[in-house]
Chains A and B, each alone.
Chain A
Amino acid sequence: MADPACTAFAGKTPPRSWGRALLLTLPIALWSLFMSLRGLLQPDRSLQIASALTAAFLIALFFMMMKTSSTYRWRRWFFVALGVLFPIEFIHNVMVLRGSMGIPIEEMIAGRTPFCFLPIPLLILPAALTKTLVFPGSLLPGGGMAGAGMAAMAGLWLAITLVVGKGWCSYACFFGGIEEGMAALPKKAHWKKLDPRLRLVPWAVLLAMVLLSLALFEPAYCMWLCPFKAVSEYVAARNTVGMVQNGIFVVLFAALVIVLPLLTKKRTQCTFLCPFGAFQSIFNKTSVFDIKIDRTVCSPCVLCQKSCPTMSLTDESIKKGETLMSCMKCGACVDACPKGAAVWHIRGTQVAVKPERARLMFLYAAWAMAAMFGGTIITQDLATILQRVI
C-alpha cells in the first residue's frame, strides 16, 4: 500500500516543462548521437543523412515521452518504423545478393544466413548436450550475412534481457512492429472476446519446438512455423513439402500479423504464437522493472485490461495488483489508466511510490537498447531507401 506521505506521486504525472524534458532527454540524445556517429563519419551521403534522421527520430520520440509523460504512443512510432523498415531492407539485401528471398538449402547448411534471436531457446538444449549449434550460422564474428557472430549477439541479448525482461519484445524485436502497426489502424476491436487460454499457446509452441529441435537437430520453428519467413528469408522450395512449408509461413503471417491484429487490436502473433516471447517471459522474473496496479486508487474500470496488446492483464491479476508474466512493458496500460493506478515499479520498492522515477529508469535502459539495435537497423534501412531515391 502506498505511503500516505507519498500519495502526491501517485496518479497521472503532469506534463513537464520544455526545459526539464530536454534535460531528461540529454543522456539519450548523447547516446543516440554516439550510436549514429559511425554512419555520420562515413563518406556515403545516404548513410550520413540516414544516421542523422534516425538519431533525430529517436531523440524526438524520447523527448516527447519525457514531455508528455506518456510512453506507449511514442514508443509505438519507433516500433512500427522498425517493424516496417526491417523487412524492406532485408528483402532488398537478399534480392541484391541472390535475386530471390528463397535461400538454397546448400547455402543455408553452409551458414550463409544472418543470426536471428527467435531460435535462441531452441538452440540451448542441443548446444548443452552436444556442443553443436543447430542454427545455420557461425558462432564467431564473420559468420552469416550480418557479419556478427552468434556468441556476440546472444551475449548482448542476455545482458539486456536480464535488465529489461520481456521489455525486449517492445523495444528491440524487429518483427513485432508490423502487427503493432496493424493493431493501431482500427478505431476499435471487432473481435473482443478471445479465449484467454490462447495466451498459453506460445508456451506449447515453445515446448514442442524445443523438443523437436533437439530430436531433429534443426531449428524446428524456423523450418515450420515462423510467420516472418514470409517477409525475410525462407528455404527455397524445390518440391511439394517445401511449398507446404512456405505456405504455412504465408498463412501464419497473413492471419497473425495482418488480419487478426486488425480485428482484435492485439499483437496476436506475439500473444498467441511466438515461442521466443514465452521464453522471454521467464526473464520478467529476473528483471528489476515491472508494472503494478495500485489497488488503493484502482476503480476498477478495466481500461488497462482493454488497452493491453498482449492480454497480460486479467480480472484476477488486477485484483492482485500485478500483470501476468507475459507483460511486455510497453506502457499501454499505464497510459490508459485515468486514475494513474497502473504504474511503473522497481522490484523491492513500495508500489506507487515515485513511479515516474521507475519509468525513467526503465526507459533509459530500454531506449538505449532500442537506439543500439533498432536505431542501427533503421539507419541501414533508411540509407538503402535513400540510395535508391537520391
Chain B
Amino acid sequence: MGGPFLVGEAFLLGLASGPACVASCGPVVVPSLLAEGAGWRLNARYLSSFLGTRFLGYLLFAAIAWELGVLVSPPPAVRTLIYGGIHVLLGVALLWYARSIGRGCAHACAASGLVSIGRVGKRGVPGAAILGLLTGVSLCPPFVAAGLRAAQLSNLAAALLFFAVFFVATTLWFVPFVGMGCVRRNASVIFVARTAMILVALYYLLAGVAMLAGRRIYG
C-alpha cells in the first residue's frame, strides 16, 4: 500500500480512536494534571512530557508488534499477564506520584515545575513522563487495533510511521486538557486530585494483581 494511503489510514484511525484513548488515559491524566500547578504553560509542559513518553511507548510497541507479528493477539493467558503487569506498574507509579506531590517544589526539580517522582532533585523524573510511558504501552482497544494493522505491514519503518501518525491523530484529542491550567489550584483541589489518584491507583493495583493471579475481575 502506498505511503499516503497508509498515512491517511493511520490518521483516520487515530482520529476515530481518540475519544477512546482519552477515556482510557483519563483516570491517569486528569487527577495528575490537576495535582500539578496552575497555568496553561505548565499544563502544556505536563502534557508534552506525558504525550512524548506515550509516543515512545507507542514506537516501542510498534517495533515489537512488527517484529513478532502476533504480539497484539497473544494467547489469552499471556495477554492477561501483560495487562496485569502494566496495571500494577501504573498503580505503583500513581501512588508514588501522589506521594511526591508538593515534595519537589522546595528542591532543585522545582525548576521544571512538574511533579517529580523517584529521586528528588535534578535527577528526579517528571511523573508525567513515567505515566505517559506506562499508558503508552498499555493495551487499550484503539492501541490494539493500530497494533494489528502495524503487524501486517511489510517493514519496520512502515510500522513505526503508522504508529507515529496514529499517535499524532489521537494526540489532538488531548489538546483541550491544556485548558485545565485555568482551574485554580488550592489546597482543596490538590487534596481532591491526590485522593482521586490514590483511588485510581488502588483500582489498577487490585485489577493488576487479580489478572496476574489469573482471576477474572467480574463474575
Contact = CB atoms under 8 A, between A and B. Distances in A.
To the question of whether A and B form a pair in one complex, the answer is yes
B27 interface: yes
A215 B23 contact: yes
A129 B24 CA distance: 13
Interface stretch (B39-47, B56-64, B144-152, B208-216): B208-216
Interface stretch (B8-16, B113-121, B189-197): B189-197
Given A224-B203, A239-B215, A215 B191 contact: no
Given A200-B188, A200-B192, A201-B195, A211 B27 contact: yes
Contacts of B193: 204, 207
B31 interface: yes
Contacts of A1: none
A241 interface: yes
Given A105-B219, A200-B191, A235-B219, A208 B196 contact: yes
Interface in A219-239: 220, 223-224, 235, 238-239
Interface residues of A, number: 29
B199 A204 contact: yes
Contact of B23 (A106, A129, A207, A224): A129
Interface of A is mostly: helix
Contact of B196 (A106, A204, A214, A240): A204
B30 interface: yes
Q: Size range of the interface on B?
A: 20 to 34
Contacts of A242: 218-219
Contacts of B218: 105, 223, 235, 241-242
Q: 3 nearest interchain CB pairs?
A: A204-B195, A105-B219, A208-B199
Given A204-B199, A208-B31, A211-B26, 20 more contacts: A129-B19, A130-B19, A200-B188, A200-B195, A204-B192, A205-B195, A207-B31, A208-B195, A208-B196, A208-B199, A211-B196, A212-B27, A215-B26, A220-B203, A223-B218, A235-B218, A240-B210, A241-B215, A241-B216, A242-B219
